[in-house]
Amino acid sequence: MDKVLADLIRISNIAGRDSTWVQGGGGNTSAKTDDGKYMYIKASGTALKDMNERVGWRRQRIDDVLSVIQDEELAKLDDTKRENEVMRRLLEACEDDVTSGARPSVESHLHAQLDKYVIHLHPMVIAAYANAKNGKGQLDKLFRNEKYPPLWVPYTDPGFLLARRIAKLTGQYKEQYGRKPSILILAKHGLFVTADSADKTLRIVNKVIKLCRSKLGVLKARKLKPAAEKDITDAQLAIRRAAFEVAGQYLPVKYYKPTEGVAAFMARKDAAKLLRTAALNPDELVYANGAALWLEKAESDTIIRKLKSLVQKGQKPSMAFVVKGLGLFVAAQEKTAPVAEEITNESLMIRMYAAKFGGVLALTKREQDFINNWESEHFRKTLVSGAGEGEVKGRIAVVTGAGSGLGRSIALGLGRAGAMVAVFDIDHKAAKETVEMIKGEVPDASAIAVSSDVTDEISVAEAFKKVVGQWGGLDILVNAAGVAPAYGLIDLPVDKWRLALEVNLTGYFLMAKAAAKVMIGQGMGGSIINLSSKTGLEASKNNTPYNATKAGEIHMARGWAMELGEYGIRVNSVCPGNVFEGSKIWNPEYIKVCAKKYGIKPDEVIPYYVDKTILKREIKGQDIADTVAFLCSDKARTITGQTVVVDSGQVMVR
Ligand SMILES: NC(=O)c1ccc[n+]([C@@H]2O[C@H](COP(=O)([O-])OP(=O)(O)OC[C@H]3O[C@@H](n4cnc5c(N)ncnc54)[C@H](O)[C@@H]3O)[C@@H](O)[C@H]2O)c1
Ligand SMILES: [Zn+2]
């Protein structure tokens, strides 16, 4: 490997692993070959710490990169056209064996103008100055004894315009100091360090960060009372509902226990004021939708009002929320939430420090608009988020008995349809297998295994706590955990009868009770499905407990539909015909009972049942899952209290 590339990977990894240097994966690096012809540059979409011999970089022809910023024709184009064209040319300037299509950093034309090695970062300690009204004055003082002080770059729209401005400013610097700067501090953006050796570049970064940190002082965090679980849950539900109302998206809401920084922030009298500013920098705007929202109390109506007023002002609705006394909440897809959390945490620190240096300097409306329209940033974001689609996209679903049979098929089907699925089962190992299956099929899926006994109210409560704690809400409940003890009336042991009542009726009831409470509290409606059976409509022989309970489930659903309609919660029953695939109910013993009932051989049982259907078609788990996904989706918005039979045509509801 080229030694220059090896050096680049080394310094990138060192920089990327230091959490005081890099926040939210931001930053990029480059290194030029000895002949000055080529530049290795970090590629978009890979974090510095993950760069290696194979991924995370591109090699560009320096002349071609520089020709982009010298092109006066480009300067005449409008923003979007220009940046698209610039990106195309930066990509065209690549000459390497990389086949992944990874794009070179959107800041490569800036790198091309600097010394041999370049490290560019957005560290919090630099932003404390770069985002403060008196930040430049403070820096001048800090570096007053330096022969070659940092070059201060006033905020400039990123991309082509910034690269051109840097060209102009470094030229002026050279005239004044006899050489180009090795330290550049960009207002509302970050730090560039450049030198002729890899180690020297690292040393300078270290020195600048240390020096800047030395004047920041320590932020005092007050000891916080641990927040009550219920307050956290209520806040999650309120935020989720508000995000849904304003952004129209089903998003999980994650709670983060307060770090020292968040605790210090919440204790400040000026907390609300510090968050009343716009995004500090492009990263906060792109990855956290701007500043976090300050909430004295997490009430959904207040949050909706505040988010709507942001939107009316042409800003994006916040994704992060600081609730006084509780901590930080993030409403975002699971994959993007950690970045938003990290950036928000840092931004809270920056705001506190900037307050010391004359106040917070945030992006103006025009600067934000530029970023929002910026194709390259958009591209970076889509690379990180990997958004999924589906008819129940982002909805939080609980499926009981999902460790086997139909429950498992439904969990898989909802996962495919975009839901986040909590797999409930008394058999935890089986539940975990289902989770693996979902993740195996849907790479971006969110799924968790929750062990719970649906007949035990305490166990059910614990299980819901886990789901709501994890994702911050609930949209769908599918009751599928069921048993089918098959005996003739005079042989039926009472304990088997009682078991069926417990699982099939008490279990459905306890789950629905707990789910409805969460759904009502959340205020976003919801969908409950009781998985009954065609046997719930038409009795079958030697099946007393099943006949009774499956009919009971349908009728319970009807009653619940009447009670819950006013909250927008729909309740329906699905009645599958015989589904043999993956079912433990259809165990060899049960099949034998059926064979005996009809006077046929056990291996004739499945064909016998299929033959009874109008369509002569075996019903599979997916058929039931599709029906459930439909009933849970908005397409079924006017369907409630109904019974849908999925049996290839055997029983007809009248
Ligand atoms: N398979 C069919 O032909 C068919 C037809 C119509 C309706 N159904 C209904 O579908 C549901 C599932 O049936 P299946 O055939 O897939 O059964 P299954 O036995 O394969 O799966 C049932 C699952 O429920 C779990 N479970 C049992 N008791 C539990 C409890 N107390 N708490 C939590 N989990 C518990 C089991 O561990 C198992 O994983 C039942 O309600 C059944 O009535 C099945
Ligand atoms: Zn940058």
Supply the pLDDT for residue 385: 46
Mean pLDDT for back-to-back runs of 10 residues, the chain (654 residues): 93 91 82 96 91 93 95 90 90 89 90 96 95 96 94 95 96 96 96 96 96 89 85 97 94 95 94 95 92 96 96 92 97 93 95 96 93 65 52 96 98 97 98 98 94 98 97 98 95 98 98 98 97 97 96 98 98 97 88 91 94 95 97 97 97 87
Supply the pLDDT for residue 299: 95
The verdict on whether 40 is a catalytic residue reads: no
Largest CA distance in the chain: 104
Q: Whose CA is nearest to atom 1 of ligand 1?
A: 579
| Cβ-contact 645, 624 below 8 angstroms | no
534 CA closest ligand 1 atom index:
6
Q: Whose CA is nearest to atom 24 of ligand 1?
A: 401
Q: How far is the CA of 491 from the centre of ligand 1 (A)?
A: 23
CA dist 58 and 65 (Å) reads 13
Q: Which ligand is nearest to the CA of 506?
A: 1
Supply the pLDDT for residue 387: 41
Counting ligand 1 atoms within 8 A of each CB, the residue from 404, 456, 556 with the most, and so the one to mutate, is 404
CA dist 479 and 511 (Å) reads 7
Q: What is the pLDDT of residues 572-616, one digit of tens each?
A: 999 999 999 988 888 998 899 889 989 999 999 999 999 999 999
Q: How far is the CA of 571 from the centre of ligand 1 (A)?
A: 19
Q: Which domains does the chain have, with CATH numbers?
A: 3-214 (3.40.225.10), 229-385 (3.40.225.10), 396-582+618-646 (3.40.50.720)
Supply the pLDDT for residue 444: 85
User: Counting every residue, how long is the chain?
Assistant: 654
Q: Which residue has the tokens 């630099």?
A: 126
Q: How far is the CA of 179 from the centre of ligand 1 (A)?
A: 76
Which one from 129, 173, 546, 609 is the annotated catalytic residue? 546
CA dist 188 and 285 (Å) reads 12
| Cβ-contact 541, 593 below 8 angstroms | no
Q: How far is the CA of 573 from the centre of ligand 1 (A)?
A: 15
Q: Which residue has the tokens 């999650």?
A: 236
H helix intervals, 45-188: 62-70, 72-76, 79-92, 108-111, 124-130, 135-142, 160-177
| Cβ-contact 444, 470 below 8 angstroms | no
Q: What is the dihedral of CA 480, 481, 484, 489, to 10 degrees?
A: -100
Q: Which ligand is nearest to the CA of 123?
A: 2
Q: How far is the CA of 75 from the centre of ligand 1 (A)?
A: 66
421: amino acid identity, one letter:
V
Residues flanking ligand 1, CB < 6 Å: 400-401, 403-407, 425-427, 430, 452-455, 480-483, 503, 507, 531, 533, 576, 578-579, 583-586
- Supply the DSSP string of 126-159, one letter for each residue: HHHHHTBTTHHHHHHHHTTT-SSPPEEE----TT
Q: What is the pLDDT of residues 272-319, one digit of tens each?
A: 999 999 999 999 998 999 999 999 999 999 999 999 999 998 888 999
Encoded tokens for 390? 């589906």
372: left (phi over 0), alpha (psi -120 to 50) or beta: alpha
